[in-house]
Amino acid sequence: MFKVQKSGISQGIELTGTFDAIKRVQIRSKASGVVLEMPSREGDSLAQGALIARIDPTEARIRVEERKALLASQKAQLAQALQQFAQNEKLYKQNYVSEAALINAQAAKDSATAQVQAAQSQLDLAQQQLKDTEVRAPFAGLIGPTQIQTGSKVSIDSPLLELLDIHTVEFKALASADQLQVLKEGLAVNLYAEGQTQAVEGKLVRISPSTSAGSRSIPVYIRAPNPRLQMRAGQFGTARVKTEQTEQGLIVPLAAIRESKGLPIVYVLDGEIGQTSDQRTIELTVREQPVVLGPEQNSGSDNSNTMVEIKSGLKEGQTIVGVNLGPLREGNSITISPSTRPVTTPIPAKP
């Protein structure tokens, strides 16, 4: 049994929007060829550096061997040029060769050195291209939509798949100009993903400086931890922003709210308190009362302490069933014993 009463109600703002990953990237190919291996599929979890796809490395490996051979050739020519320069320098000091011959040997040495550096750069590039045939995860996350499979032919810059880290999510919603009067960074927010009843605590982290294209609404962004991955990128949801404003309103336990014909109701208890010589009893009659609900008011970490505002349908001082007794028949008699334990007494069915 619960007596409806007024209490200070924290005024909140309810916003709708979508969740997105805090880290989201489209993985593109840096090599061309046929995909030989793709060990993971959409929805799989990857560690940082894990293999995403292996592209046929045959051509890249051949280029590496070619560049190695070219580098070896250029190094041999450089060794010859160094030897020739050393000989000419010695002979020049003994006046056996002209200065022009020494200058020519110096130029040949410098050219051979540059050729070695160029060949080394080409080899480094070829080795990087060979490494790029193995596509690896740049960070730990989940595989999103994929555009390839084993056997697909890809080219450089072809999209392969999306990689998402949803251990922290960001919720984007559109707020009106009036709502922005009370919204500010740092406000606590309860996030509810579509299809879920348990809230996740988040924080308003930023407000866009401009309106959304084609509307007068301003995007706001709320960030929340998502360790159990119950919120997914692209999922719709609701944000209930807690503000510092409060006002008086009627509240009842959330457990008192039932449903009848798809609408929220409470069971109102009508009747008078009776006295007997040996005990104090309360004989009350059950009546279904439709109500209009406001926001939930959490007073603890579990749902047993959750209250909900009643916008209309009840008056202060009315008595209702404050706990979940299951479906009750309208007109049932409720007897409250001295132990305050409710007992439901069904009314006999009419013949």
Taking 50 as the threshold, does the pLDDT of residue 343 lie above it?
A: no
pLDDT over threshold 60, residue 338: no
Query: β-strands 2-3, 33-37: how paired?
Result: unpaired
Rounded-to-integer distance, Cα 204 and Cα 188, Å? 7
DSSP of 106-120, one letter per residue?
A: HHHHHHHHHHHHHHH
- Of the candidates 87, 83, 114, 88, the residue with the CA atom closest to the CA atom of residue 100: 88
Average pLDDT over residues 221-245: 87
- Specify the amino acid at residue 56: D
Q: What are phi and psi of 318, to 5 degrees?
A: -70, 150
CB atoms under 10 Å from CB of 293, counted, come to 15
Q: Which of 40-44, 179-183, 251-255, 322-326 has the highest mean pLDDT?
A: 40-44
pLDDT score, position 77:
94
pLDDT surpasses 70 at 350 = no
Dihedral pair phi/psi, residue 27, rounded to 5°: -80, 125
The 3-class secondary structure across 120-186, one letter per residue, is HHHHHHHHHHHHCCEEECCCCEEEEEECCCCCCEECCCCEEEEEEEEEEEEEEEEECCCHHHCCCCC
pLDDT at 282: 67
Residues 6 or more apart in contact with residue 343 via CB below 8 angstroms = 334, 335, 336, 337
Question: Within 15-98, where are the H helices?
Answer: 58-93
Mean pLDDT throughout 301-320? 76
Can you tell me which residue has the tokens 């560049």?
67
Place of tokens 């009463």: 5
Per DSSP, the residues of 189-236 read EEEEETT--S-EEEEEEEE-SSPPTTSS-EEEEEEEE-TT--S-TT-E
Tens of pLDDT, residue by residue over 63-91, are: 999 999 999 999 999 999 999 999 999 99
Pick from 1-5, 158-162, 346-350 the range whose average pLDDT is largest: 158-162
Tell whether domain 30-54+135-157 is in CATH 2.40.160.40: no
> Is the CB of residue 336 less than 8 Å from the CB of residue 345?
no
Q: Which residue has the higher pLDDT, 284 or 312?
A: 312
pLDDT digits (tens, 9 = 90+) for 143-172: 999 999 999 999 999 999 999 999 999 999
Q: What is the pLDDT of residue 24?
A: 94
CATH 2.40.420.20 for the 2-8+247-345 domain, yes or no: yes
Q: Phi/psi class of residue 349: alpha, beta or left (left: φ > 0; alpha: ψ in -120 to 50)?
A: beta
Q: How far apart are CA 241 and CA 336, in angstroms?
A: 39
Token digits of residue 9: 């109600």
Question: Domain 10-22+163-246 carries which CATH code?
Answer: 2.40.30.170
Q: Enumerate the CATH 2.40.50.100 domain ranges in the chain, comma separated.
A: 30-54+135-157
pLDDT at 14: 85
Angle at CA of residue 250, ends 247 and 256, nearest 5° = 140
Q: Tell me the angle at which helices 58-93 and 99-131 cross, rounded to the nearest 10 degrees.
A: 160
CATH 1.10.287-classified regions of the chain:
57-132
Residue 317: the pLDDT is: 83
**Out of 54-68, 278-292, 329-343, least confident range:** 329-343
Report the pLDDT averaged over residues 13-20. 92
Mean pLDDT over all residues of the chain? 86
Element (H, E) at 56: none
**15 forms bridges with which residues in the sheet?**
239
Is 57-132 a domain of CATH 1.10.10? no
Boundaries of CATH 2.40.420.20 in the chain?
A: 2-8+247-345
Q: What is the pLDDT of residues 188-219, one digit of tens each?
A: 899 999 888 788 999 999 999 998 887 889 99
- Residue 279: the pLDDT is 53
d(CA 329, CA 287): 8
- Domain(s) labelled CATH 2.40.30.170 in the chain stretch across 10-22+163-246
Q: How confident is the model at residue 302 (pLDDT cuts 50, 70, 90)?
A: very low
- As a dihedral over the C-alpha atoms of residue 323, residue 328, residue 333, residue 337, rounded to 10 degrees, the angle is -30
Of 19-33, 53-67, 272-286, 310-324, the poorest mean pLDDT is in 272-286
Strands across the sheet with 134-136, in order? 134-136, 51-55, 33-37, 153-154
DSSP letter, residue 254: G
- Quick one: which of 227, 224, 250 has its CA closest to 237? 224
Task: Please state, for a pLDDT cut of 70, what percent of the chain lies above it.
Answer: 87
